[in-house]
Copies of this chain bind each other. A is one copy, B any other.
Amino acid sequence: MLIARSTDYAVRALKYLAEKNQETSAAELTRELKIPWPFMRKIMQSLGKHGLVASRKGPGGGFLLAKAPEKIKLTGLVNIFQGPVCLNECIFKKKICPNRKTCYLSKKLGEIEEHAFLVLDRITLKEIIEGGHNHG
């Protein structure tokens, strides 16, 4: 799977924040998006650590988008929650394969991976919001 659940949840949360454009608590996000509360909190904390949202503690506190939606790329989110986009780790017995440089199959998988990366890298939160879609 290219997009893990955590990444997907993050997209939904960010979309909600962007559309509401007001400080929003994790509780509200949980309620509106039907995402389990502790999991949601973990996700928001990750987003905070990586500077995608700003947070404020205390009553009335919550999260605010910290970057413009057009600056938030899907590849960035994938990186945070799943690590680098990777479809091509020829692992033989848990050791990275020594033949990668010359391997035909690896080359082809590399092509796929690159294409996937390019597509994902061009998708921003803004596009997702405006894309005439239903995500979330």
Contact = CB atoms under 8 A, between A and B. Distances in A.
A86 B3 CA distance: 11
Interface stretch (A23-31, A41-49, A57-65, A89-97): A89-97
A5 interface: yes
B133 A88 contact: no
Interface residues of A, number: 39
Given A11-B105, A115-B112, A119-B108, A1 B87 contact: yes
20 contacts: A1-B86, A1-B89, A2-B88, A2-B112, A3-B90, A3-B109, A11-B105, A87-B116, A102-B132, A102-B133, A103-B134, A103-B135, A104-B131, A105-B123, A105-B131, A105-B133, A108-B120, A111-B119, A112-B116, A116-B116
